Amino acid sequence: MAKMTLIDAINMAMAHELENDDRVVVYGEDVGVNGGVFRATIGLQERFGEERVMDTPLAESMIAGMGVGMAAQGLRPVGEIQFSGFIYPGFDQIISHAARLRNRTRGRMTCPLVIRAPFGGGIHAPEHHSESTEALFAHIPGLRTVIPSSPQRAYGLLLAAIRCPDPVIFFEPNRLYRLTKQEVEDNGEALPLDVCFVLREGTDVTLISWAPAMNETLKAAAELEEEGISCEVIDVATIAPLDMETILDSVAKTGRAVIVHEAPRNVGVGAEIAANLAEHGIYDLRAPIQRVTGYDTVMPLAKMEKQYLPSTARIKDAARRTMED
C-alpha cells in the first residue's frame, strides 16, 4: 500500500474512475497539460487522452452548465473550478439546474455531476483564493456538499461522489493537500456520502469539525488530553446531507460540544449542527454549545489570515469553557 498525500489520493480516485467507467470525463481550466494549478489532475490527460481530460476555456458558468448538459445525457462529468472563490459565475447553473433537474422532471432527468474545487485558507494565497463557503451550498436543496480532510477519506469520498447519481460539490482543503501522508489502497471502495467520521474517541467533550480546521481540532484534542480533558473528535466531512445521528450519539456520551469551522460564524454550518443538538440532544448537554469559527468578516489577505483562522488555542479555550460546570 502506498503512502500518499490528500492531493495524490484525489488524483488516484479520478484515475480509478476514468479507468473503470468510460462515462467519466474530467474537465476544467488548466486541468489537462498543466495537471491543474495544484496538480490534482497531473498525468490524467497523458494517461486517458484529451477527449476525457479536457482543458476548457476560462468560464465557470460554462463548466457548471455544460456539466449539467453532459450529466443529463449520460456522462459522469467531474469538473474542476480552479479555486472555490471562482465558482460564482457557475452558481446559477449549479443552483437553478444541477440541484433541481431531477425534481423538475420528476426523475425523468438526473444530474450526476461532480464539481471539485480547492477550498479554505491558510496557504497565503491572493485575494478570493481562501474563502470557506460550504454553507452557501449546504443550503441548496438537491445538492450534496462534501469536504474530505485526510487522504483516505478523500479517495473514498471522491469515488462516492463520482458514482453518486446526484450532483456533488466536492471541496478540497488546499492547506491539507500536502500536509500529511497516509496509506491509501487503490481498491475502488467508496465511502458513504452521508456518514460522519469519528476520528478519535473520548469521554468529556465532542469536538466537531471539518475541512482544514480539522487539523487544528485534532491538535487541540491531543493537547487537551494532556490536561486531562478527553475529547471525542468528529470529522463531519459530508456537510450536506448532515449525519446528525453520529454527532448526537457522541454528545449523548460526552454531554459537551464544540463546533469548529473556518467559515464565518453567522448562519454557518455550525449553526445548523447546534440547532439540531438543541432540538434533539438538549437533555444530554451539560454545558452550552461552543462555536469556534472564522469571524463575520471578509476572509482577510495573507498578512491577517492567521488572526482569522480558528487556532488550536481558541479551540482549547472553548473546550475548557464547556468543562467549567
Partner 1 sequence: MKTVAKFEIGFEQYLDPEGKPTKKLPRTANKEELLKLYRLMTLVRIFDTKAIALQRTGKLGTYASSLGHEAAHAAIGVAMKEKDCLAPMYREYAAQIERGVKMSEILLYWGGDERGSNFSGPAHDFPWCVPIATQYLHAAGAAAAFKYRKEERVAVTVIGDGGTSEGDFYEAINAAGAWQLPFVGVVVNNKWAISVPLEKQTAAETLAQKGVAAGIECVQVDGNDIVAMREVMEKALAKARAGKGPTLIEALTYRLHDHTTADDASRYRSDEEVKAHESKEPLIRLRKYLMEQGWWTEEDEEKLIEECRAEVDEAVSEYQNIEPPGVEDMFDYHFEEITEPLAEQREVAIREARRNG
Ligand X SMILES: Cc1ncc(C[n+]2csc(CCOP(=O)(O)OP(=O)(O)O)c2C)c(N)n1
Active site residue 280: no
Residues 26-85 close enough to bind partner 1 by CB under 8 A: 29-30, 32-35, 37, 55, 57-62, 85
User: Does residue 91 bind partner 1 (CB under 8 A)?
Assistant: no
**Strand 114-119 with 76-80, pairing:** parallel
Q: Which of 249, 209, 202, 210 is nearest to 227 (CA)?
A: 202
Closer by beta carbon to ligand X, 58 or else 278: 58
> CB within 8 A of 78, min separation 6: which ones?
14, 17, 24, 25, 26, 27, 114, 116, 162
Q: Which amino acid is at 268?
A: G
User: Does residue 266 bind partner 1 (CB under 8 A)?
Assistant: yes
Among residues 16, 97, 128, 129, which one is catalytic? 129
Residue 47 binds: one of ligand X, partner 1, none (C-beta under 5 to 8 A by kind): none
- The DSSP call for residue 190 is P
Q: CB burial class (10 A; 0-12, 13-18, 19+) of residue 189?
A: exposed
User: Does residue 33 bind ligand X (CB under 6 A)?
Assistant: no
Closer by beta carbon to ligand X, 60 or else 272: 60
- Which listed range, 126-134, 141-149, 210-218, 236-244, lies at the site for partner 1 (CB under 8 A)? 126-134
Residue 247 binds: one of ligand X, partner 1, none (C-beta under 5 to 8 A by kind): none
Half-sphere exposure of 206 (CA within 13 A, CB side): 30
Residue 302 binds: one of ligand X, partner 1, none (C-beta under 5 to 8 A by kind): partner 1
Residue-by-residue DSSP string for 286-307: SS--EEEEE-SSPPP-HHHHHH
> CB within 8 A of 166, min separation 6: which ones?
102, 110, 111, 112, 142, 143, 144
Residue 267 binds: one of partner 1, ligand X, none (C-beta under 5 to 8 A by kind): none
User: Does residue 29 bind ligand X (CB under 6 A)?
Assistant: yes
3-state DSSP assignment of residue 203: coil
Q: What is the dihedral of CA 49, 55, 61, 62, to 10 degrees?
A: -60
Q: Which amino acid is at 231?
A: C
Tell me the per-residue interface mask from 10 to 29 with partner 1, x by CB under 8 A, - otherwise: -------------------x
User: Does residue 80 bind ligand X (CB under 6 A)?
Assistant: no
- Rounded Cα gap, residues 229 and 204, in angstroms: 6
Tell me the per-residue interface mask from 181 to 220 with ligand X, x by CB under 6 A, - otherwise: ----------------------------------------
Instruction: Quote the Cα angle for 243-244-249, to 5°.
Output: 115
- Which listed range, 13-21, 121-129, 145-153, 248-256, lies at the site for partner 1 (CB under 8 A)? 121-129
User: Does residue 82 bind ligand X (CB under 6 A)?
Assistant: yes
Residue 15 CB, shortest distance to ligand X, in Å, is: 24
Residue 217 binds: one of partner 1, ligand X, none (C-beta under 5 to 8 A by kind): none
Residue-by-residue DSSP string for 22-86: TTEEEEETT-STT--TT-TTTTHHHHH-TTTEEE--S-HHHHHHHHHHHHHTT-EEEEE-SSGGG
Active site residues: 129
Which residues of this chain interact with partner 1, rule CB under 8 A? Answer: 29-30, 32-35, 37, 55, 57-62, 85-86, 88-89, 124-129, 265-266, 295-298, 300-305, 307-308, 311, 313-314
Which residues of this chain interact with ligand X, rule CB under 6 A? Answer: 29, 58, 60, 82, 86, 89
